[in-house]
Structure 1
Amino acid sequence: MAEGILVLRVIKTIVGLLGILGNALVCLVIYKVTSMHTTTNYFIFNQATIDFLGSVMLLLSSNIPVPVFLADNFGGNLLCRLWISDFFLWSFFTSSTLNLVSVTFERYVAIVFPFQHGVIYGTVPVRILIAGVWIIGMASSFYDIAFYAVISGSCQSVSVPGSQAIGVMIFLLQYFLPVCAMLFAYVHIMVVLKRKAVSVGPQPVTVSSGSHPVDTMERSLLRARRNTLKTLVIVFATYVGCWSMNAVVFFMFNFGYPLDFNGAVYIVSVALVASNSCLNPFIYAVKYRQFRRGFRIVFGLPVTNEDFGNSSTAN
């Protein structure tokens, strides 16, 4: 399966480069455009930062050769357990998942419980949440350190006591529970937005046709929230599409499925997970009006009515 490994290396290299460029651009736009300094965009900025570092690790791990022979000493085991095991790469991947959950529930509270949003997502709580995303992402990947060791001069995965239970826990915490929680949040958000759209009423033909300014503001806010929501739903759907195969295969592996780590199934599943780190910037560029407007402002391009209108992400 040398050809498959080579293909995976090429894919990781391309994805790494695209992820570095795309996520750096997202960070630049949010940082430079003051109107984008909102709670939602802080989480999007954090997402892009995590994915940027994940893309860097993806690029490096795919192109830096490892020694053919590893000595069974402190240095050899450190290289095996931290670098060859992709500990940092999967830590960033997990942090990215947790941040996606965070931004989902930030939108959930903003739309479903708007009066509590300012308290729940104040400056200090947001900073704690963002820090927690990084810390938990790193902590939840520490199983790599235990699951790898130098054996006969090479870095190999090993069986440890309770590995099956750990595998199930990882599947639940890193994939199944986040997906279920986000799915619940998005469904409830859509129900609430639909109710609010009905209560506001249909869009008037003109502002001067007797509509109240408050109604116009409410409609504009609803459209802005819908645009942000549509963007995040696409990000969520992309995440599910990229992660599901690897999560299911890993889950089955812990129950005795004969997984070939050099086989096509595993290689394709890892390639899909890797691609997730570079796709979000393209989604923002196509669907997120506020990002498109910010991009035009940063690079001195004319702002179109489509990009400017209803682009607020007000809570």
Structure 2
Amino acid sequence: MEEILPLRIYQTIVGILGILGNALVCFVILKIPAMQTRINSFIFHQAVIDFLSSMMIFLKSEIKVPDPIPSNALGWFICQVWTPFILFFFFVTSTFNLLALTMERYLAIVHPFKHQAVLAAWPRLKVGVAMTVCWALGFGLNIYAVVLFREENGQCVPNPIHGSNILGVIVAFLEYILPVGVMFFAYIRIGVEMKRGAARVGPAPAAHLPGGANAPDMAKSLLRARRNTFKMLLIVFITFVICWTPNQVIYLMFNLGFRFTLKEWYYYLSIAMVGTNSCVNPFIYALKYRQFRKGLRRIFSRAREQTENFGTEQSLSYNVSN
């Protein structure tokens, strides 16, 4: 990877953008109390995972691996942890968090009564459990990568393991094909249900509620908010599929016996595309997530007011001292 300079530069840029963008997402959600909702807790968790992924992308592009690789604990770490395991551990954890976020929206929109029943008791604990399961799945599906390579004569070489190709196919199915299939089905059902909801929310006698609001207006407002969130998550899902598909196709064909190697430029490019998925979500939130844009504007307006107030105080103190 070190000798492919354009890919190193690209990964460095992706890492920096991912670090800054996801840190901003976390900051906005933490600073704006109105954004601390259930769905935003999953978005915050997604940003934390993508921040760590971007940090690893940046470090892997900037830290030069020793050549030859030493035959000691450092060599073991490089060949069995640093290169094959740690980066995809964060990538796959991010995948399952996106799956959990999608299923939360699926239950809330398609099966609202089940959604309420599931989260009626200890909702924060259950959200925390779901996030913990994401980390456990990311770790469990990638721990096998620790034994795929070994250090030999100063190089990382494949470790011949009986049945590793079958295991690779199973892992590709569990970490990519199955989540994508489930999310694809969920978004279709959400889209159908939202169309039905839009048809139901039509001209009707205004049932006035306390405070001057009426039921149709509140239903339309809820529908608009759900539609905005749905569009944003759909774009996140489509971006995920675009970024992940080349890598998983190459990996799956390699394990099925096709003449692919995991040392060619196209495989490294596919990894860079997976890394791109870790930095692109904050831009999607900024463009398509209305609640995030409002929170961002509120933070910037607060910062501007504090700057203006500080300047006014400095001017007053200067005049008083004179």
In the superposition, the TM-score normalised over structure 1's length comes to 0.89
TM-aligned CA deviation for residue 149 of structure 1: 0.6
* 1:45/1:203 CA distance change after superposition, 3 Å: farther
Q: Distance in 1 between matches of 2:204 and 2:80?
A: 59
Corresponding position: 1:235 with 2:233:
no
Q: Distance in 1 between matches of 2:21 and 2:150?
A: 35
Q: Distance in 2 between matches of 1:295 and 1:247?
A: 35
Q: What's the counterpart of residue 313 of structure 1?
A: none
Letter in 2 for 1:166: L
Map residues 1-315 of structure 1 onto 2, 5 A cutoff. 5-85=4-84, 87-121=85-119, 122-201=123-202, 213-300=214-301
Letter in 1 for 2:58: L
TM-aligned CA deviation for residue 50 of structure 1: 0.1
Greater Cα radius of gyration, structure 1 or 2? 2
Letter in 1 for 2:164: S
Question: Which deviates further from its counterpart, 138-147 or 195-204?
Answer: 195-204
Q: What's the counterpart of residue 306 of structure 2?
A: none
TM-aligned CA deviation for residue 262 of structure 1: 3.9
Segments of structure 2 that go 5 or more residues without pairing to the other structure are 304-322
Q: Distance in 2 between matches of 1:123 and 1:281?
A: 24
- Contact kept, 8 Å, 2:169 with 2:256, in 1: the verdict is no
* 1:298/1:10 CA distance change after superposition, 3 Å: same
1:63-109 per-residue CA deviation (whole Å, 9 max, x = no partner) reads: 11122123334442133211133x21110000000000000000001
- Contact kept, 8 Å, 2:80 with 2:145, in 1: the verdict is yes
Q: Distance in 2 between matches of 1:261 and 1:254?
A: 11
TM-aligned CA deviation for residue 114 of structure 1: 1.5
Query: What secondary structure does 2:142 align onto?
Result: coil
* 1:163/1:202 CA distance change after superposition, 3 Å: farther
TM-aligned CA deviation for residue 17 of structure 1: 0.2
Q: Distance in 2 between matches of 1:84 and 1:181?
A: 29
Letter in 2 for 1:7: P
TM-aligned CA deviation for residue 165 of structure 1: 1.1
Q: Distance in 2 between matches of 1:168 and 1:145?
A: 17
Question: Which deviates further from its counterpart, 268-277 or 73-82?
Answer: 73-82
Q: Distance in 2 between matches of 1:283 and 1:301?
A: 23
Query: What secondary structure does 2:157 align onto?
Result: strand
Question: Which deviates further from its counterpart, 118-127 or 88-97?
Answer: 118-127
TM-aligned CA deviation for residue 202 of structure 1: 5.0
Query: What secondary structure does 1:160 align onto?
Result: coil
Aligned residues: 295
Identical residues among aligned pairs (%): 47
* 1:231/1:265 CA distance change after superposition, 3 Å: same
Q: Distance in 2 between matches of 1:203 and 1:27?
A: 41
Q: What's the counterpart of residue 320 of structure 2?
A: none
Question: Which deviates further from its counterpart, 112-121 or 219-228?
Answer: 112-121
* 1:285/1:110 CA distance change after superposition, 3 Å: same
Cα RMSD after superposing both structures = 2.1
Q: Distance in 2 between matches of 1:100 and 1:79?
A: 29
Q: Distance in 1 between matches of 2:189 and 2:38?
A: 20
TM-aligned CA deviation for residue 131 of structure 1: 1.1
